[in-house]
Amino acid sequence: MSEPMIAIQGLTKRFSTADGRKHLAIDDVNVEVAEGEFVSILGPSGCGKSTLLYMVGGFVAPSAGAITVQGRPVTGPGPDRGPVFQEFALFPWKTVLENVMYGLRQQGVSKAEAEARARALLDMVHLKDFADFYPKELSGGMRQRVAIARTLAYQPQILLMDEPFGALDAHTRTVLQNELLGIWERDRKTVLFVTHGVDEAVFLSDRVVVMTRAPGRIKKVVEIDLPRPRVRAELLVNRRYQEYIVELEQLIEDVHLEAAGA
Amino acid sequence: MKSALRKLGPAASTVLSLGALLVLWEILARLAQIDGFPPATEALVQVPLILGERESLASIGASLWRMFLGGALALCFAVPVGLAMGRNKRIAQALNPVLTAAYPIPKAALMPIIMLWFGVGDLSKVLVIFLGVSLPLIYHSFHGAHAVDEKLLWSAMAMGMKPVARLFKVVLPSALPDVLLGCRVGLAMALIVMISSEMIARQSGAGDLLFNALDMALYGDVYAMIVILAAIGFVLDWVFERVRRRLVHWAESRQDAMVPGGGV
Ligand SMILES: Nc1ncnc2c1ncn2[C@@H]1O[C@H](COP(=O)(O)OP(=O)(O)O)[C@@H](O)[C@H]1O
Ligand SMILES: [Mg+2]
């Protein structure tokens, strides 16, 4: 196998708490993600999933350990890694179209070309008619579609998604999971996807990394060997899918029990 | 028809409450029969007379010009300082105590000291307006820059935006609703300080007109000046509010309700 897209070695993060103590958020995490792979980080809230993702994004510096992307050490954010946040983080003073064009303009793409590409992406996420709307005029699901389009626009090799559908209602979440999977199955970007939803992780991923809490360590890595393209209705009656769900639910339950016992 | 009425709503209620105030003033003054409290009608007839005089118009114009200069200087100075404080902990820690101490000081009370340094002319008055406007502006800009969503900055960083560009393209627009709120407070403050500075350094200006009339016991003129100043404040605020809405129409509406300026 060639060099991994993302290599995380001995990654550790300590935060100083308000009372001056050190809180070990991430402890000695080792993961490799291959090019084109869809990997989920699954764990209960507070186990350090976001912190892990932010460190890969270069937004937060590790306390120890190393992260390399395509063999180059991560020293800060870069357009090779496109983040999608749970809170959407759209620029509220820009229209939908301007938001999606922003990264391209930032990289020196001409206005005409940036607009053409942005419009194509908006079409893909079914927001063609909302190009001139402002974020505040959109629903949560629409905002997250814009955010995904904005990140896809500057063509990062890696998508870093932090519970992107966590703030949405169940129905919208399902719709967006399907859309994301559709997009991904077409161009097979490398995706690191943080979630606390077992179904979501199994439905989307090639591999699921289960984390423990306080400190955040890797409990187990589960390979999801299910055929693609995946169709939800078919998976629900798929025996192997059900077994993955049960296995991961069990692991998450263990994590909770360990945390309670500790 | 109905929508036309509704459109009239706020304007009509403004006219109504101002009318009620005038009626109340008229009645109270007629009842009280005090020299220093003329009825509304006696004061209001002076308004066109004052505004018809070239000299008093020039005086009011000079006041507004100084107010504009002080405000413009404050804008250039206070917004960058506030934004810097909001983005940099060290700067905030260094300046915060100064701000906290300076905030409750009545700026017009500094007028005599400033006059010692810069004389009784325009410079002192512009400076004291500048001080009065700067504090609320720094405070609100600081608050706005401090509250900038980190993820917006991260998104911009991931797109490859450099630090200086982020300051202008992310921090400034993010903080704009707060900055403009500070401007509105600053506007009220500027009017207050403008008049009080002219009350202390009597030389020219709307405040000078007002206190001259008071010295000469021309109470109708005094109240007419107060009405004129109130009208100026009202118009400026109305214009500013329209501009503000235009600039931040994209913002999620928070409590848009306004606070009047704090201490003088
Ligand atoms: N900036 C920070 N300062 C201090 N502690 C933090 C900070 N960010 C996260 N933490 C702590 O690190 C732990 C993991 O947080 P996070 O990565 O947000 O978890 P998750 O995304 O899995 O819910 C939590 O205990 C949280 O309180
Ligand atoms: Mg999180």
The tens digit of pLDDT for each residue in A164-175 reads 999 999 999 999
In a domain, A54, yes or no: yes
pLDDT value, residue B6: 60
pLDDT tens track for A176-234: 999 999 999 988 999 999 999 999 999 999 999 999 988 899 999 999 999 999 999 99
Q: Rounded distance, CA A188 to CA A184, Å?
A: 5
- Across the interface, which of A58, A92, A154 has its CB nearest the CB of B159? A154
User: Is A1 a domain residue?
Assistant: no
- Residue with the smallest CA separation from ligand 1 atom 20 is A46
Record: contact A89-B149, CB cut-off 8 A: yes
* A243 within domain boundaries: yes
Q: Which residue of B has its CA nearest to A85?
A: B151
Residue B254 has pLDDT above 70, yes or no: no
- CB atoms A92 and B252 under 8 Å: yes
Residue B39: pLDDT over 70:
yes
Of A48 and A18, the one with more pLDDT: A48
pLDDT tens digits, B51-73: 999 989 999 999 999 999 999 99
As a whole number of angstroms, the distance between CA B51 and CA B190 comes to: 22
> For B134-145, what is the mean pLDDT?
95
Q: Looking at the structure, do residues A99 and A198 belong to the same domain, yes or no?
A: no
Q: For ligand 1, is residue A47 a contact (CB within 6 Å)?
A: yes
Query: Which has the minimum average pLDDT: A34-38, A62-66, A178-182, B121-125?
Result: B121-125
Domains, chain B, ordered by start: 40-247 (1.10.3720.10)
Residues bordering ligand 2, an ion, CB closer than 5 Å: A 50
Atom 6 of ligand 1, residue of closest alpha carbon: A15
**Please, which pLDDT band fits residue B258 given cuts at 50, 70 and 90?**
very low
Substitution candidate for ligand 1 out of A11, A45, A50 with most atoms within 8 A of CB: A50
From A209, A165, A162, A157, select the one nearest A188 (Cα to Cα). Answer: A157
- Please report the atom of ligand 1 found closest to the CA of residue A214: 25
Note whether B154 contacts A89, CB cutoff 8 Å. yes
d(CA A148, CA A138): 14
CA atoms within 13 A on the CB side of A228: 17
Specify the pLDDT at position A43: 94
Give B173's pLDDT tier (boundaries 50, 70, 90). Answer: very high
- pTM equals 0.88
Of A103, A127, A155, which residue sits at a domain end? A155
Place of tokens 């939800």: A232
Which residues from chain A sit within 8 angstroms of residue B157, using beta carbons? 58-59, 76-77
At residue A3 the predicted structure's pLDDT band, cuts being 50, 70 and 90, is confident
Distance B208 CA to ligand 2 centre (A): 62
How does pLDDT run across A76-85, given as a tens digit for each residue? 999 999 999 9
Dump pLDDT digits (tens) for A134-159.
999 999 999 999 999 999 999 999 99
The enclosing domain of A220 has a CATH number of: 3.40.50.300
Q: Are residues A192 and A236 in the same domain?
A: yes
Chains A, B: CB contacts under 8 A, how many? 64
Task: Give the model's confidence band at B108: pLDDT under 50 very low, under 70 low, under 90 confident, else very high.
Answer: confident
**Domain finish residue from A155, A189, A205:** A155
How far is the centre of ligand 1, averaged over its atoms, from the C-alpha of B104 (Å)? 39
φ and ψ at residue B118, rounded to 5 degrees: -115, 5
In a shared domain, residues A133 and A169: no
Contacts of A107 (CB under 8 A, 6+ apart): A79, A154, B159, B160
Q: Helix (H, G, I), strand (E, B), or coil: what is residue B77?
A: helix
Other C-beta atoms closer than 10 Å to the C-beta of A192 total 26
Are A165 and A243 contained in the same domain?
yes
Closest CA to B136 of B115, B107, B169, B109: B107
- At which of A155, A183, A202 does a domain end? A155
Which of B149, B152, B154, B155 should we substitute to test contact with A (largest number of A Cβ atoms within 10 Å)?
A: B155
Does B259 have pLDDT greater than 50?
no
Look at residue B76 and tell me whether its pLDDT is greater than 60: yes
Please report the pLDDT score of residue B3 as a whole number: 57
pLDDT for B256 beyond 50:
no
A72-78: average pLDDT? 96
Q: Answer yes or no: do A72 and A138 share one domain.
A: no
Domain that holds residue A20: 6-80+158-261
Q: Looking at residue B264, what is its pLDDT?
A: 36
pLDDT at position A30: 96
Q: Judge if A99 and A150 occupy the same domain.
A: yes
pLDDT at A262: 57
Inter-chain touch A83–B251, beta carbons under 8 Å:
no
Mutation choice for ligand 1 from A23, A41, A51, CB with most ligand atoms inside 8 A: A51
Strand partners, A40: A193, A208
Share of chain A above pLDDT 70, in %: 99
Report chain B residues whose CB lies below 8 A from the CB of A94: 250
CA dist B216 and A94 (Å) reads 58
Nearest residue in chain B measured CA to CA from A77? B158
% of chain B residues with pLDDT over 70: 93
A174 and A252 share one domain: yes
- For residue A154, what are its two tokens? 């500057």
What confidence score (pLDDT) does residue B7 get? 62
Atom of ligand 1 nearest to the CA of A54: 17
For strands A207-211 and A218-223, give the pairing: antiparallel
B149 contacts in chain A (CB < 8 Å):
87, 89
Considering only CB atoms, which chain A residues are within 8 Å of B158?
Answer: 57, 77-79, 81-83, 103, 151, 156
User: Is the confidence at residue B27, as pLDDT, over 90?
Assistant: yes
Interface touch A93/B173, C-beta < 8 Å: yes
Note whether B159 contacts A81, CB cutoff 8 Å: no
Regarding whether A168 and A103 lie in a shared domain, the answer is no
In this structure, the answer to whether residues A106 and A224 fall within a common structural domain is no
Overall number of domains in chain A: 2
What is the model's pLDDT at position B11? 81
Shared domain for A67 and A120, answered yes or no, is no
Q: Is the CB of A51 under 6 A from ligand 1?
A: yes
Q: Are residues A245 and A125 in the same domain?
A: no
Q: Give the C-alpha separation, A242 to A261, whole Å.
A: 28
Ligand 1 near A61 CB (within 6 A): no
Rounded Cα distance between A153 and A166, Å, is 22
**B130 vs B103: which has the higher pLDDT:** B130
Give me the pLDDT at residue B205, please. Answer: 86
Confirm or reject: Cβ of A50 under 6 Å from ligand 1. Answer: yes
Residue A1: what pLDDT? 54
Report pLDDT digits (tens) over B205-249. 888 888 888 888 889 999 999 999 999 999 999 999 999 999 999
Q: What pLDDT shows up at residue B261?
A: 39
What DSSP line would sit under B152-167, residue for residue? HHHHHHHTT--HHHHI
Are residues A98 and A52 both part of a single domain?
no
ipTM of this complex prediction, to 2 decimal places? 0.94
Q: With CA atoms as reference, report the closest residue to A215 among A27, A49, A28.
A: A27
